[in-house]
Structure 1
Amino acid sequence: MSAMDAPFTLIRPDENGPAVLWGGVYESGSLKYLTYELFLEEAPKDVRGFVEISGSSTALALDLLGRKKGLPTVAITDAPGRDHLMRRGFRGEVQTITNLDEAHRLCLQYEQEGWLWPRQFTNVALVRYVELWGLQLLRKVRKNWPEIRYLVCGFGTGATVAGLYRVFAPFGYSVMGLQARPGDPVPGWRNYALQNLGDQDLFHSYQEKIPLPIPSETEGSGAGALDSLLRYANTYANPEQVLVISHDGRPRDRGLSERVTSTTASASPAYDELRR
C-alpha cells in the first residue's frame, strides 16, 4: 500500500460522537507505516538495517518495512516497551535499556556500523512525510466529512500532530495532541514538559502553536490510547465535529470503510483497543 494513495478508513462509532481515522487497517497496525514508507524512499539504499528508540508504532512500522526490504530491525526500548512489542508481533531484535543515555549510545553505535537510525525525536523531516499523506486525508475530510472542525491525535514524537497541523490549520481546523498523564503512561505517548530534548526536539518549534492537553483523571486514568482519545473528544460541546486520529485502532467490522451512524454501534464495542 502506498502512502500517496492510502484509502483512509473513517468511521463514526457513535451517531453523535467523534469520527475516527482508523490507522490499524494498515499493514503495520499503525499510521507510522505511511510516514516511514515515504521516509525510506529518500533514505540511503545501502544500509545494514534499521534501529530506533521505540517500544511501539515506529518499531512495528520499521520492522515490517525492513522485512519487505530484506533488512533487520532493532528496537531499543525499556522493559514495558519490549513487552508491548512482543504482544504486537514484532519480529526484530529488542535491546532493553534503562535510560535514554544508554539508548542513544546504542543507536549511535549501530549508526556508525552502517545501520539507519531515523532519530525520530529530532528529525524534523518526518513532519514533511506526514504532510504528504495528510494532504490525502484533508481532501477526503473536506469532501465527505464537512462537519469536522477539530483533530485530536495522541502526542508521541510530535511528527504526526505537527504534520497534520501544517496541512489542516490553514483551512481553519484546530489540531491538538493529547499527552500522557504523569504517572499514567500510554505506549507511544509522552508528556512534553517531562520528556523533551529542548531546542533539538522535533516538536520544539511547534510547542506554542499546537495545544497539548492532558486528559483529566476521569477522562484518561488507566485507559489505553484510543479510549483516552474518545473520552477526551466526547468532552467537546459538539463531539461530532471532532476527528480522532487513532494510530493503532481497528474497527471490529473490517468491512466498514465509511460513515457508520447506527445507534447500535456504540463507542465501546465498535473498536478493538490496539495500543499505540
Structure 2
Amino acid sequence: MNAMTTPFTLTRPEKDGPAVLWGGTCPSGSLKYLTYESYLDAVPEGVRGLVEISGASTALALDLIGRRAGLPTVAVTDADGRDHLTRRGFRGEIRTITSIEEGREVCLRYERAGWCWPRQFTDDALVGRVELWAARLLRRIRADWPEVRHLVCGFGTGATVAGLHRVFTPAGYAVTGVQAREGDHVPGWRNYALQNLGDQDLFHRYRKEVPLATACGGESALGSLLTYANAHAAPEQVLVISHDGRPRPRH
C-alpha cells in the first residue's frame, strides 16, 4: 500500500452534519502519510536519518516511514508535542525545544551531520505532494459526495490547506483553514499571525488566497473543526479533514 493507493475513509457521523475524511485510518495513523510517503521517494541514499520540527501528525508519519526504510527519526517539538507523541506511540527520539527558531537550529545541526530535514514550514514542494492525493480525493467527492461544497482543514504548516485549495477551488469548492487561538495548544496546529516565518514561510504566498478562520471551541483538533463546520449555514455541505481522526465503531 502506498500514498497513491491508500483508500480514503469518509463518513457522516451525524445526520445532516458535516462529512469527515478520517486521516487516522492511513498506515501511520495520520493523513500526513499520504504527503510524506511519496515525498521521501526523492531522498538521496546515504542519509543518516529523518528529523523535523513536529509534535503531531508529521512526526508520526516520518516515524513509520523511517522505520520501514531502516532510518531513525528525531522529532523536535515543545513539551506539549512531546507528551502528545509519547501518548501516540512515537518510537523515535524526541528533542524538546521552546520555539520554532530553536527548532530550526537543532534541525540544521542534524542536516549538516547528514540527516534529511524536510523543512515542512518552508518547503513549497510539499504542497505539490498534497495535490497528488487531493486530486484523488476530488474525484471521490465528485462521484460519491456531490453535496459537499466546502472543505475545512486544521492549519499547521499550511501545506495541506494550500494543496487542497489549489485542487478544489478551481473546481468550484471553498477551502478554509482553521488555526489555533492565541494561547491554545492544539497538536499540529499553529496561529499564523503569531508563528509565521515571514516571506520564507510556506504559507506566505497563499495568505491572500486561502481564508483562515480561528478556532472558537472544541477540546481537540477534530472537535474544533466540527464546531466550525456545524456553524456553517449548511453543515451537510462541509467536509472536515481530520488529519489523525478515526471513526468510532458503530454498535
| Equivalent residues of 2:74, 2:94 under 8 A apart | yes
Answer 1 or 2: higher relative contact order, Cα 8 Å, separation at least 6.
Answer: 1
1:99 is displaced (CA, Å) by 2.5
DSSP 3-state at the match of 2:213: coil
1:6 is displaced (CA, Å) by 2.1
Q: 1:229 aligns with which of 225, 233, 237?
A: 225
Structure 1 gap segments, 5+ residues each:
254-264, 271-276
Q: Distance in 2 between matches of 1:236 and 1:199?
A: 32
Q: Distance in 1 between matches of 2:113 and 2:65?
A: 20
| Equivalent residues of 1:77, 1:96 under 8 A apart | yes
- Aligned letter for 2:204? H
| Equivalent residues of 1:51, 1:74 under 8 A apart | yes
| Equivalent residues of 1:52, 1:119 under 8 A apart | yes
| Equivalent residues of 1:77, 1:94 under 8 A apart | yes
Which residue does the alignment assign to 1:242?
238
Which residue does the alignment assign to 1:196?
196
DSSP 3-state at the match of 1:102: helix
Which residue does the alignment assign to 2:133?
133
1:104 is displaced (CA, Å) by 1.4
Equivalent residues in 2 for 1:129-208, closer than 5 Å: 129-208=129-208
1:90 is displaced (CA, Å) by 0.3
1:102 is displaced (CA, Å) by 2.2
1:181 is displaced (CA, Å) by 0.8
Which residue does the alignment assign to 1:274?
none
Which residue does the alignment assign to 2:104?
104
Runs of 4+ in 1 over 6 A off after TM superposition: none
Once the two structures are superposed, residues 223-271 of structure 1 have per-residue CA deviations (whole angstroms, 9 ceiling, x without a partner) of 1000110111000111000000000110122xxxxxxxxxxx7xxxx9x
Q: Distance in 1 between matches of 2:78 and 2:154?
A: 20
Q: Distance in 2 between matches of 1:163 and 1:184?
A: 25
- Aligned letter for 2:166? R
Q: Distance in 2 between matches of 1:11 and 1:124?
A: 30
Q: Distance in 1 between matches of 2:95 and 2:215?
A: 31
Q: TM-score, normalised by structure 2?
A: 0.98
Which residue does the alignment assign to 1:88?
88
Which residue does the alignment assign to 1:257?
none
DSSP 3-state at the match of 1:143: helix
Which residue does the alignment assign to 2:40?
40
Structure 2 gap segments, 5+ residues each:
none
| Equivalent residues of 1:28, 1:60 under 8 A apart | yes
Which residue does the alignment assign to 1:49?
49
1:191 is displaced (CA, Å) by 0.6
- Aligned letter for 1:80? D
Q: Distance in 1 between matches of 2:150 and 2:187?
A: 23
Q: TM-score, normalised by structure 1?
A: 0.89
| Equivalent residues of 1:131, 1:166 under 8 A apart | yes
Once the two structures are superposed, residues 183-241 of structure 1 have per-residue CA deviations (whole angstroms, 9 ceiling, x without a partner) of 1220100111001001100000100111100133xx34xx1000110111000111000
DSSP 3-state at the match of 1:4: coil
1:44 is displaced (CA, Å) by 1.3
Paired residues in the alignment total 251
Q: Distance in 1 between matches of 2:5 and 2:97?
A: 38
| Equivalent residues of 2:80, 2:185 under 8 A apart | no
Q: Distance in 2 between matches of 1:68 and 1:140?
A: 29
1:46 is displaced (CA, Å) by 1.8
